[in-house]
Amino acid sequence: MTITKKITLGFALPIAVLLAVGGLFRSVTTRLEDTASWVDHSNQITDLVQQTLTRMVDAETGARAFFLVGKEEFLEPYLGAQADVTRLVDEAGRLSVDNPEQHGRLERLRTTLVQRLNIVATAIDARRKAPFDDATAVATLAAGKVAMDAVRTDLGTIRETELGLLAKRRAAASDSAENAQLALVVALAIGILLSMLSSYLIARSVIGPLAVVREGVDRIGGGDLEYRIVIGNRDELGQLAAAFNAMAGNRSKAEAEIVKRSDERARVLERVGEIASRLAASAGELQATTASQASGAQQQSAAVVQTSAQAAERAHTVAEVARQAVEAGEAGHESLDSATATMTRARDQANRVAESILSLAEQAQSIEEIIASVDDLSEQSNMLALNAAIEAARAGEQGRGFAVVANEMKALAEGSKAATVQVRRILGTIQKQSNQAVMMTEASTRGLGEAAVAATAVGSTMRTLNEAIATAAQSVGQIAASARQQSGGLQQINQAMRDVSAVATQNLATTRQVGEAARDLSELGSSLKEIFAELPVGRGDGRA
Amino acid sequence: MTPAEILAARARALAVIPDPEAARADRRMIVATIGAQDYGFPLAQVHRIVPLGRITRLPHAPPLVAGLASLAGILGLVFDARVWRDLPPSPLGPKLPVLMIGPTSRPLALVVDAVVRYADVPADLTAPGPAGSWLVGLTAERVLVVDDEVLAADPAFSLALGDLS
């Protein structure tokens, strides 16, 4: 449990106890108010009963005086009581509705009072008509006394009963007040005990581990980086201890890294000293090398100029070839477009030729029918010629000339027959060749279609090729421009090489200075090594 | 050959004086093919050649009878020359030639495979046939010359055209 939760719980317990005490106090207060209300209720009824008795006594006294004297002014108390008695008894009856027994007594009292007042009223009327004699006066007064005694007794009973209830209610109120006081005292005592207990527990769970953390922080701060704070808490103190432990671990690693780097620095300084010594030795060699570089730079300058000229010339040649390739590609593409169009037209023409050949084949079929008719006619002619010859033979010598005609007819029929045979043979040859022509045309059309498709593909390829050639030509142009720029650059390099030669000459002098500086550097390395050796290296005080 | 040439040839033929020997030799014949053999039918007894046309086969008729047909307005039986020559029956067709042999009133109708030509009957037949036979002889061109009258009198051909009319 976290410290926040513990503190929250420690405050929550007393607050809960206070809330319980408050609730109890409110309950006791409510009960006391109820008891006081009932006491007031009983007092009101008692007071009303007392007022009723007073009014009735006044009414009886006034009436008796009127009976004795006969003066109307003595009836004033009676008349006032006659108006108030009924109201007072009704109000007392309304207040005693909760007590059926008391309410019944009041109802009966009201009836008795009304009857008594009516009797008195009757007597008053009689007295007004004539003065009472002694006997009537005594009887009337005696009856009034008896009636008033009964009324007084009833009112006394009611009053005593109500006073008894009042005493009980006051005793109950006193008991409630005592109980409430006791409950409040007990609740406050429990609240105080709970508050003390929660404070003790919170302090115990926080203060102890806090002291452990404080001790650990002191030790780690004192340089004991291997010390670790060990507490079992899982709250903020536990997290704080873990953070301190992690910090101590990181600090320990950093110290080790600092020591390691200090050693490496010492080794580097030693290495610097050695290199400075070697540098001094190499400075002499560098002088000779620098002189050689100067002469080499001059030779390279001449070679660079020659290479630059050759590169520019070759770039120009390549650019020209690329331009010719672009032109050839464009011409080839135009030729291919023309060839594609020509093949398309040839395919259309081949289609039309195929249609014409098919029409020709159909017409040849018609010719075949005509030949069949001619053949039939020739056979009939032949048969007619034979019959003519028969008739000529029958005619004998007179039919000789007719026989010649028949013979000629037969020759014509045979000639027609032979001609039809020959025409049929030729027609067969035509049909065969037309079929072959149709098939060849079909194959040609198909071939032209495929060729057109292939030409279209070739066109696409050539278009791509042209684009590639154009791109290549553009690239070649850029290369030529670059070559020209390179030529200029090489000129600059040439100038730079000359500058290098001059600088190399200067380097000779500088190299001597470098040798001297190397020696100074070696001495400086030794001094640094000594200085670093004297420095503390992060042990004990926690600083590097 | 043009019509003028034909007329000229005809005039030349008519201008020739008849030769008695030639008149004797004026025996001509119709050469018809039956199977693979040529047969010569003398013109004097062949009075007409007509196409077969429609023919009606007769049930229970002998194989020699090809059927019943109307030829040149005459209703009668048609005989199959191939069956006569002990060959398989002819595949009858409307264009097959029919030789009408014998007397005009009762001609014998004989359907043959083809009528190829007419030719002269040579005086000297290389192989004259036996007496009373329908075979007159064999020409140098290997044509069997038929005696139409003997053939028409053959009982096998007893019902000639016109007998049913």
On whether the CB atoms of residues A385 and A407 are closer than 8 A, the answer is yes
B55-56/B46-51 β-pairing:
unpaired
Residue at B27 is within a domain = no
Residue at B46 is within a domain = yes
Other beta carbons within 10 Å of A348: 12
Judged on CB neighbours under 10 Å (0-12, 13-18, 19+), A20 is middle
Range with the poorest average pLDDT among A36-45, A166-175, A392-401? A392-401
Cβ–Cβ below 8 Å for A383 and B50: yes
B44: nearest CB among A393, A405, A411? A393
Q: How confident is the model at residue B38 (pLDDT cuts 50, 70, 90)?
A: very high
A262 sits in which H/E element:
helix A236-395
**Position A295 pLDDT exceeds 90:** no
**A62-83 mean pLDDT:** 85
Higher pLDDT pick, A88 / A506 = A88
Higher pLDDT pick, B26 / A542 = B26
B18: nearest CB among A390, A397, A408? A397
Q: What is the pLDDT of residue A336?
A: 76
Q: How confident is the model at residue A507 (pLDDT cuts 50, 70, 90)?
A: low
**Position A103 pLDDT exceeds 70:** yes
Cα(A47)–Cα(A277) distance, integer angstroms: 131
**Position B105 pLDDT exceeds 50:** yes
CB contact set of B77 (below 8 Å; sequence gap of 6+): B58, B65, B66, B67, B68, B109, B159, B160, B161, B163, B164
Judged on CB neighbours under 10 Å (0-12, 13-18, 19+), A250 is exposed
Q: What is the pLDDT of residue B87?
A: 94
Q: What is the pLDDT of residue A542?
A: 40
On whether the CB atoms of residues B30 and B118 are closer than 8 A, the answer is yes
Tell which of B2, B5, B6 to mutate to test the A interface (max A CBs under 10 Å): B6
Cβ–Cβ below 8 Å for A383 and B18: no
pLDDT digits (tens, 9 = 90+) for A269-281: 777 767 767 766 6
Residue at B26 is within a domain = no
pLDDT digits (tens, 9 = 90+) for A370-418: 888 888 888 888 888 888 888 887 777 787 788 788 888 888 888 888 8
**Position B139 pLDDT exceeds 80:** yes
Q: How confident is the model at residue B108 (pLDDT cuts 50, 70, 90)?
A: confident
A401: nearest CB among B14, B47, B115? B14
Cα(A327)–Cα(A329) distance, integer angstroms: 5
Cα(A18)–Cα(A187) distance, integer angstroms: 8
On whether the CB atoms of residues A148 and A109 are closer than 8 A, the answer is no
B39 sits in which H/E element:
strand B37-42
**A354-362 mean pLDDT:** 80
Q: What is the pLDDT of residue B17?
A: 66
| Closest residue on chain B to A401 (Cα) | B14
Residue at B71 is within a domain = yes
Q: How far is CA A4 from the centre of its chain?
A: 33
Interface membership of A224 toward B (CB under 8 Å): no
Q: What is the pLDDT of residue A293?
A: 60
Q: What is the pLDDT of residue A541?
A: 44
User: In chain A, which residues have their Cβ closer than 8 Å to the Cβ of B102?
Assistant: none
Q: What is the pLDDT of residue B33?
A: 95
| Closest residue on chain A to B97 (Cα) | A383
- What is the model's pTM? 0.38
On whether the CB atoms of residues A105 and A93 are closer than 8 A, the answer is no
**Position A59 pLDDT exceeds 70:** yes
CA distance B59 to chain A (A): 31
Q: What is the pLDDT of residue B56?
A: 93
Nearest to B90 by CA among B150, B42, B34, B131: B34
Instruction: Pick from A211-220, A311-320, A472-481, A498-507 the range whose average pLDDT is largest.
Output: A211-220
Q: How far is CA A539 from the centre of its chain?
A: 53
B118: nearest CB among A389, A397, A408? A389
Nearest to A413 by CA among B139, B118, B83: B118
Q: How confident is the model at residue B67 (pLDDT cuts 50, 70, 90)?
A: very high
Q: What is the pLDDT of residue A414?
A: 84
Residue at B142 is within a domain = yes
Higher pLDDT pick, A233 / A539 = A233
Q: Hey, what domains does chain A have and what are their CATH numbers?
A: 3-204 (1.20.1420), 251-534 (1.10.287.950)
Q: What is the pLDDT of residue B112?
A: 94
**What is the span of the domain harbouring residue B133?**
38-157
**Position A206 pLDDT exceeds 70:** yes
Cα(A262)–Cα(A259) distance, integer angstroms: 5
**Position B113 pLDDT exceeds 90:** yes
CB contact set of B86 (below 8 Å; sequence gap of 6+): none
User: In chain A, which residues have their Cβ closer than 8 Å to the Cβ of B9?
Assistant: 404, 408
Q: CA of B48: how far to CAs of A503, B51, B116, in Å? A: 139, 10, 15
Cβ–Cβ below 8 Å for A393 and B49: no
Domain count, chain B: 1
CATH of the domain at B96: 2.40.50.180
Higher pLDDT pick, B106 / A419 = A419
Interface membership of A408 toward B (CB under 8 Å): yes
**Position B159 pLDDT exceeds 80:** no
pLDDT digits (tens, 9 = 90+) for B16-31: 765 544 443 357 888 9
**A99-113 mean pLDDT:** 87
Q: What is the pLDDT of residue A475?
A: 78
Residue at B141 is within a domain = yes
Cα(A41)–Cα(A170) distance, integer angstroms: 12
Instruction: Pick from A182-186, A393-397, A514-518 the range whose average pLDDT is largest.
Output: A182-186
Tell which of A402, A408, A412 to mutate to test the B interface (max B CBs under 10 Å): A408
Interface membership of A383 toward B (CB under 8 Å): yes
A368-374's contacts with Cβ under 8 Å and 24+ in sequence apart are A368/A424, A368/A427, A371/A420, A371/A423, A371/A424, A371/A427, A374/A416, A374/A419, A374/A420, A374/A423
| Closest residue on chain A to B10 (Cα) | A404
CB contact set of A454 (below 8 Å; sequence gap of 6+): none
Q: How confident is the model at residue B127 (pLDDT cuts 50, 70, 90)?
A: low
Q: What is the pLDDT of residue A298?
A: 64
| pLDDT mean across residues, chain A | 80
Q: What percent of chain A has pLDDT over 70?
A: 87
CA distance B46 to chain A (A): 7
Cβ–Cβ below 8 Å for B49 and A404: no
Residue at B56 is within a domain = yes
**A154-173 mean pLDDT:** 86
Cα(A66)–Cα(A74) distance, integer angstroms: 5
Q: What is the pLDDT of residue B66?
A: 92
Q: What is the pLDDT of residue B25?
A: 38
Q: What is the pLDDT of residue A500?
A: 67
Q: What is the pLDDT of residue A214?
A: 85
**Position B81 pLDDT exceeds 90:** yes
Q: What is the pLDDT of residue B34?
A: 95
CA distance B35 to chain A (A): 19
Residue at B99 is within a domain = yes
As a whole number of angstroms, the longest Cα–Cα distance in chain A is 219
**Position B83 pLDDT exceeds 90:** yes
Cβ–Cβ below 8 Å for A386 and B23: no
